[in-house]
Copies of this chain bind each other. A is one copy, B any other.
Amino acid sequence: MSKAEHQDAPELSADELRELDAHWRAANYLAAGQIYLLSNPLLTEPLKPEHIKPRLLGHWGTSPGLNLVYTHLNRVIGTRGLDALCVWGPGHGGPSVLAGSWLDGSYSEIYPDVPRDGEGMERLFRQFSFPGGVPSHVAPEVPGSIHEGGELGYSLAHAYGAAFDNPDLLVACVIGDGEAETGPLAASWHSNKFLDPVHDGAVLPILHLNGYKIANPAVLSRLPAAELDQLLRGYGHDPLHVTGDDPAAVHRALARALDEALDRIALMQRSAREGGVTERVHWPMIVLRTPKGWTGPAEVDGLPVEGTWRAHQVPLAGVRENPEHLRQLEAWLRSYRPEELFGPDGRPVAEVLACVPDGSRRLGATVHANGGLLVRDLPIGSLDSFAVPVDKPGTTMHEPTRVLGDLLRQVMQDTRTRRDFRVVGPDETASNRLQALYDASGKAWQAETLPVDEHLDRHGRVLEILSEHTCQGWLEGYLLTGRHGLFSCYEAFVHIVDSMVNQHIKWLRTARRLPWRAPIASLNYLLTSHVWRQDHNGFSHQDPGFVDHVLNKSPEVVRVYLPPDANTLLSVADHALRSRDYVNVIVAGKQPCFDWLSMDAARAHCARGAGIWDWAGTENGGEPDVVLACAGDVPTQEVLAAAQLLRRHLPQLAVRVVNVVDMTRLMPREEHPHGMTDFEYDGLFTADKPVIFAYHGYPWLIHRLAYRRTGHKNLHVRGYKESGTTTTPFDMVVRNDLDRFRLVMDVIDRVPGLAVRAAAVRQEMADARTRHHDWIREHGTDLPEIADWTWST
């Protein structure tokens, strides 16, 4: 089939070829101009040092290849009336995508101060990598982009995320050969086993082999052609190879390959959608092999540059000082014959613009790259139908994430037609107790199924692959194109995507400041199977530090919630799913956990973010002697158990119990929009009483958040301190000094005058810890007094 279609695809006409080449030359000229020129953008006079930027910054090497793809995508979008988006993996080639969007007019529509004329061209050049200007990479500022061009490896996962549930969209994805060496990219090739040809759009990977990274050959570019072909077929693709350094020949070959690929995609989609074909298809892809820094200087200072790693950034580095470099630059720029490409007013001539599609079909203008314009509120009903009844705190138990699963099932159900909600996770949806979801949607799967399999579904919207990177990339792409989702992950292993979430937070921070970018749905994490309950695993699965990582980032974007029970989890999740432009981190357990708050109380508590649980304390309206604070489900249980012990053993002591759901409430108001004022903070925690804070994660985080508070010197925090292993739940808290007995001892140690008065109680607590220690080593289970504990006043 492919051979025939290949031959059937009509050759480019001479006019088409000329037009494509004109567009490509114009883009190359504009890319080089951005790197080098401060003024004289049209080379109307001979190039002089003062026309050159004082600091030459940017990445030329990848730009001609990206320009070539932009040019040719323009053509097929136009000829086929496609709805298309392109993800630019080698997005450090910012000059290229900026050039493309300036040429297609979308840039000037968004930034009218950079019009598509000579004046605009000068601004386009000057602003690039210039202080107060635009970044050197494809970034949120660039029209048509959903993919930051900094850290490499995520383009293909982003592309699939964009294609899911977008049946009419073509997502082209340029993958650099350097990027292809990264783990996340290598894993994401298998995304094609999760793409539904019926409900999803198509992804067209374009592997750009330009041979070199910053300083080394790229591995894939140095495989024998047959070996590379096997690899790509093994990834489930049917590759089309385009190789060359003669522009006309490459234009022809790429046009042919694109036509063939798009014909095949159309046929495959038709077969699945109309013909009911369910066999997994091998999607086409293109391998584009062109020289790095193609059309740039072939040699500089006697060393080869074009086609080598030396073309990676700025091929001619001494232009202002070195007349020969200046001469070479001028020759290079004039080699594009700018006088044929731009009128005297700097406007691109008709031939250059002939291939550019119209309106919102332009790559720089596609609404899919500004997903906030498409996003609709999720249909989330009243939480009351999912809430667990709580007549009395701490007497019934539920698995919080299982309760959340019912809510998510309903959302999945209610988006069945809209198909704009997905849940992703690395093989852990059921392990994380969210399996109710499968009642509303199976798990996406296009590979082989066996009779014994459960819940696999060619059209499913639950996505499970054992790659946190791929999960994260998919969800980011899905959200950035205007949809909703949730990533459920083991708490410890979410660190795998630390670096990815960094980039997404940076994207959101920047996008929020761009008036033309509409707010998108938040990236929601459910971190569960957390540090305190890793019975099957142990130390390797214990790390609560993602919260610390995220809280280093832009406060306008990050939110962290530690709901202490099922109903608070519902409330927090509801809030997160409705929110926009945030990264919401929700940490909640999957093991049975006491129900503390009724739905109404949970709503009110979560709205405040932190509050006094007066039913749990003993202060009776006066000033407390001590504050027991907690954040997280297990710490909350231990604090309440400690409060109960104190009530029994030291009934005169006025104890206040404070629970914190929203961690950013602890920050100063000036540092985070959710931060409490000092007045509020002191109202909760007092300005001068001892505060014993039991926290889910690393204890110093609380100090880092609260160090400016008046009462900070009285703050004593217990949390996880890397004392992890395979053991019982209660032994975990004992090992980390977060247990109820230790907390009571802390109270006794810190309330002035109590140490002497309560010495016997303190000893009793110490004895209980020893008893525990001995018991679990003998029986392998927690003490019955712990296992059977419930709250009572």
Contacts and interface: CB of A to CB of B under 8 A. Distances in A.
Contact of A722 (B229, B503, B509): B509
A487 to B, nearest CB: 15
Interface residues of A, number: 126
A537 B136 contact: yes
Given A92-B537, A151-B540, A540-B149, A214 B467 contact: no
Contacts of A343: none
B214 A178 contact: no
Interface stretch (A233-241, A369-377, A516-524): A233-241
Contacts of A232: 234
Interface string A37-66: 010000000000000011101110000000
Interface stretch (A251-259, A268-276, A605-613, A726-734): A726-734
A698 interface: yes
A131 B234 contact: no
A59 B536 contact: yes
Contact of A465 (B181, B466, B502): B181
Interface string A758-776: 0000000000000000001
A216 interface: yes
Nearest to A132: B777
A227 B236 contact: yes
A538 to B, nearest CB: 4
Taking the full assembly, how many copies of this chain does it contain?
A: 2
Given A184-B183, A543-B502, A214 B135 contact: no
A148 interface: yes
A430 interface: yes
Interface stretch (A161-169, A448-456, A740-748): A448-456
A419 interface: no
Given A179-B466, A181-B466, A447-B223, A540 B506 contact: yes
Nearest to A310: B452
Main SS of the interface on chain A? loop
Contacts of A178: 427, 466
Nearest to A772: B131
Contacts of A129: 535-536, 538, 726
Contact of A707 (B214, B224, B707): B707
A499 interface: yes
Interface of A: 38, 53-55, 57-59, 92, 129-137, 139, 148-153, 178-179, 181-190, 193, 213-219, 222-224, 227-236, 304, 307-308, 313, 427-431, 443, 445, 447-450, 452-453, 456, 464-470, 492-493, 495-496, 498-499, 502-503, 506, 509-510, 535-541, 543, 545, 548-549, 552-554, 698, 700-701, 703-704, 707, 712, 722, 724-728, 731, 776-777, 779-781
Across the A-B interface, give the 9 residue pairs with the lowest CB-CB distance, nearest first: A150-B540, A231-B234, A183-B183, A186-B186, A183-B187, A495-B499, A230-B234, A222-B447, A181-B466
29 contacts: A59-B536, A131-B727, A132-B776, A134-B726, A135-B540, A136-B726, A139-B539, A151-B493, A152-B466, A182-B183, A182-B468, A193-B222, A215-B431, A217-B445, A217-B448, A219-B447, A222-B447, A223-B234, A223-B236, A227-B234, A229-B234, A492-B502, A493-B499, A495-B499, A498-B498, A506-B539, A548-B552, A552-B700, A553-B722
Given A129-B536, A181-B190, A215-B431, 14 more contacts: A131-B731, A132-B777, A135-B725, A136-B726, A179-B466, A183-B183, A183-B184, A193-B222, A214-B427, A222-B449, A229-B234, A232-B234, A545-B549, A548-B552
